[in-house]
Chain A
């Protein structure tokens, strides 16, 4: 019988320091993964935690991890050639097929950008699959900017608004992402989708701002983060009402998400 909780060892190919608190780990893995899915990463002796896939390629996956807890601190101690244990992929994914040939707006706060990065890369490589792509992403300050190279190249094919909470810098506006949602011309799009990822409060405020600017709630998609101890619908931590974020999520249409009361 299959043991869903047994992780497998994977070799770390490379570690990229995005910021002081966020590293990207490239890990050997040939799994087929959809945009928005996650893995449970673990280090024996320390524990495990759900981490979203931030990029995928031939024979590898990338995870961009923010050092916030015991496990992530442990992972930061790993180097190329070391082993990390993984199980997955878990969760649903962004409904990329529904996004095809429509306008797409992606609003990402901080490390939330990691969860949409592989989808952004896909549309960067296949720009004809969307009518237009608007990326609004914000960071705390210049030192906390993620994926700098990607952000630069995205400017060529996407409509981009990059911002920093309290500072102005070259290529970055000052302020929160929510302040720039009014610049999205929702009313001119014939058919569109908006994807919002980031900290819970940022998601709430961004959704509000989108609705205020005329966006339809059923065209808004959010990715929810919850505590998980198993990711296979057993441990109960991520349950909200009658749904389990690990199985039916983490991506939800806002028309459904708005009714979820933790």
Chain B
């Protein structure tokens, strides 16, 4: 395997889940095969490789704005599981398709990305990828197997999870009722708005823009975009104080509906959520996303039975 990685590194920057000193498993560049933590689910998703947490959009120098070039001309190789490989297609939809605009910074990294599939011999505790249709993929150039890269064999995917969800059957007749459910109010106190769930999510794509200067007296600096989170109170706060989602429950509803309703309604094909289950694992208040989805399914069924009359 040593040789294999070394060979790959001539052509690729290689990223894989790594165990860090703080015991977290996150994606990082690997230089030796022993660094790859392939036997457990990474706490963070691989999206930070091609959608960096902090990304310089441009530098300003002497009153001009200049793009910063990527110096490394190697392609990127990511060791990832099926759910995370499927997630990149969701991000492609936002960054390359939405609004008819291709994002320059996303595209130039995205175009370099290739995957090596990490097979899941069995599902982890909180996964629900099968329900989300994200348990299989053909977007890889090889399979990590027995410490080698296998380009010949057929991949093995999980076909069932310990957790399953039923996507709520929402249509226009009950949409408003679903958005206005009292159920959302239960999150006003339970969700602390830390944004952990969106940080670990492989499909969360929102960002904020900030300007920084290199020192206080300098006119030179750079504009950066930084991962944002719709779970944070200031996400939709405008200058002047107006905020369209003041309560944690409103923000929870905003996130949940995007993952299992709005995205599909806008683009068709798939839901945004790939069922990796990381959001629930990281939540300090044990808020379970699969539980929310299943609760909504029940509520939707009930609303339809009642003719969309009440909650």
Contact = CB atoms under 8 A, between A and B. Distances in A.
Interface of A: 1-7, 9, 42, 44-49, 66, 68-72, 83, 85, 199-200, 225-227, 229-230, 232-237, 239, 241-244, 246-247, 259, 261-262
Interface in B168-187: 175-176, 179-180
Given A5-B104, A236-B206, A262 B98 contact: no
A91 to B, nearest CB: 11
Interface string B46-68: 00000000000110100111010
Nearest to A225: B238
Contact of B104 (A2, A66, A247): A2
A244 to B, nearest CB: 6
Contacts of B98: 233-234, 244, 247
24 contacts: A2-B102, A2-B104, A3-B67, A5-B104, A6-B57, A44-B63, A45-B219, A47-B209, A48-B223, A72-B239, A85-B65, A225-B238, A229-B207, A230-B209, A233-B94, A233-B98, A233-B101, A234-B205, A235-B208, A235-B228, A236-B206, A236-B207, A237-B236, A247-B100
Q: Is the interface of A mostly helix, strand, loop or mixed?
A: loop
Nearest to B64: A9
A232 B101 contact: yes
Given A229-B207, A235-B207, 8 more contacts: A3-B67, A4-B101, A4-B102, A6-B57, A6-B67, A72-B239, A230-B207, A236-B94
A236 B210 contact: no
A2 B104 CA distance: 7
B211 interface: yes
A159 to B, nearest CB: 31
Interface in B227-246: 228, 230, 235-240, 242, 244-245
B19 interface: no
Given A199-B242, A259-B176, A236 B221 contact: no
A133 to B, nearest CB: 29
A199 B49 CA distance: 40
Contacts of B57: 5-6
A237 B235 contact: yes
B265 interface: yes
A51 to B, nearest CB: 11
Interface residues of B, number: 56
A247 B228 CA distance: 20
Nearest to B253: A261
Contact of A1 (B107, B236, B239, B245): B107
B211 A262 contact: no
A237 to B, nearest CB: 6
A37 to B, nearest CB: 15
B47 to A, nearest CB: 14
